[in-house]
Structures are given as structure tokens and as C-alpha cells.
């Protein structure tokens, strides 16, 4: 079964494409992350939620409410808000790890 990932926010580093290259099916949210956009993106069946904009951090809470098993990952140069830390599985600064390394690790997990 193919793993699915939701990528929300701008993706200037190309993490979505790198995840696709690792064999994951990708659904993107280009609008504000909300319960409706997460539902439309298939959050209840998704394996991974990748957020690239800390302004969308509430998306982690919403996604975990709909799918407690989803892995929530922040790939951003910004600091993770305190309220989102408890439900975030991984936070990565793009300046510390290349996108290909992050995608490979996420696909293997």
C-alpha cells in the first residue's frame, strides 16, 4: 500500500517532490490549513502531514484530532510554536538537513 503525505504551505525546497521520488503519494494544501482543507486532502487516511509554514501550526492539532496516527512534521526555518510541540513528531530546519535526506528518512519510517 502506498503511503500518502499531505504537504501544506509553500514548498520552496521541494520536499513534496522529494517525497514523491521516494514513492509517496502527495496531496497539497495551498490554502489555509483548516479542518475542511485537511478533510479534502484525505487526512483520515494519510500517513504524514508536512507543514512548511509555522503560521499553519494549528493544522497539527486539527490533523491529529482527525487521525491520531498521522506523523506531523515541520520543515521550516521558523521556530515551532509551543502549543504545537507536544503533537509534532519531527521538526527540521532546511538549513540543517537537505531535502533529499529528510524525504528518504520520512519515507523509510
pLDDT on residue 27: 97
Does residue 1 surpass a pLDDT of 80? Answer: no
Domain assignments of the chain as residue spans, ordered by start: 4-108
Give the CB-side neighbour count of residue 96, counting CA atoms within 13 A: 7
- Whether the CB-CB separation of 46 and 26 falls below 8 Å is answered with no
Nearest alpha carbon to residue 24 among 38, 7, 43, 44: 7
The Cα–Cα gap between 57 and 24 comes to 23
Q: What CATH number does the domain located at 4-108 have?
A: 3.40.50.2300
Q: Rounded to an integer, what distance in angstroms lies between the CA atom of residue 40 and that of residue 53? A: 19
pTM for the whole thing?
Answer: 0.92
pLDDT score at 109: 79
Q: Concatenate the DSSP letters of all residues of 75-103 into one string.
A: E-SSPPPHHHHTT-SEEE-TTTS-HHHHH
The rounded distance, in Å, linking the Cα atoms of 77 and 91 is 10
User: What confidence tens digit (pLDDT) does each residue in 27-84 have?
Assistant: 999 999 999 999 999 999 999 999 999 889 999 999 999 999 999 999 999 988 898 8
Amino acid at each position: 500500500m502506498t503511503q500518502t503525505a499531505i504537504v501544506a504551505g509553500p514548498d520552496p525546497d521541494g520536499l513534496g517532490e522529494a517525497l514523491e521520488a521516494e514513492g509517496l503519494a502527495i496531496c497539497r494544501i495551498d490554502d489555509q490549513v483548516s479542518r475542511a482543507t485537511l478533510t479534502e486532502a484525505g487526512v483520515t487516511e494519510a500517513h504524514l502531514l508536512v507543514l512548511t509554514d509555522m503560521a499553519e501550526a494549528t493544522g497539527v492539532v486539527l490533523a491529529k484530532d482527525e487521525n491520531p496516527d498521522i506523523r506531523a512534521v515541520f520543515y521550516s526555518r521558523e521556530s515551532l510554536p509551543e502549543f504545537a510541540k507536544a503533537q509534532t513528531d519531527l521538526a527540521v530546519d532546511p538549513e540543517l538537513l537537505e531535502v533529499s535526506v529528510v524525504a528518504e528518512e520520512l519515507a523509510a519510517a
